[in-house]
Amino acid sequence: MRTLLVLMLLAVLVMAATCYESHESMESHEYLNPFLNRRRANDFIQADSRLRAITQERIRERSKAPQEHQRERCEDYYPCEMYAFRHGYAAAYKHYFGRRRTK
């Protein structure tokens, strides 16, 4: 019975130590009003930077490097792709498409 009482007192002390509301947490403005108003909700995100990032991504998609075009062309042709696994995409493209010239 005595050990039960000591354990219960210890549990109450641990609970009091961990659940204590400090004065610093009461000072926070979020404690009194945890929700932001509509105007301040997106202040930290700049609309211009989001649109600029989307625009830059679209530009990068349209203007690919020549190596990227060669790699995509090689990936579409199965023998070239198999050759690329062994020797690399640059060598595979040169082997399958480098010799072809238009007049």
**Full pLDDT tens readout for the chain, 103 residues:** 889 899 999 998 888 777 766 666 555 555 566 677 766 766 666 666 667 777 887 777 777 788 888 888 898 999 999 999 999 999 999 999 886 655 5
Two structure tokens written together for 59:
């530009």
Annotated domain spans of the chain: 65-102
What b/e string do you get for 60-73 counting C-beta neighbours within 10 Å, with b at 16 or more? eeeeeeeeeebbee
Q: Judge whether 71 and 91 are in contact, CB under 8 Å.
A: no
Q: How many CB atoms lie within 10 A of CB 84?
A: 20
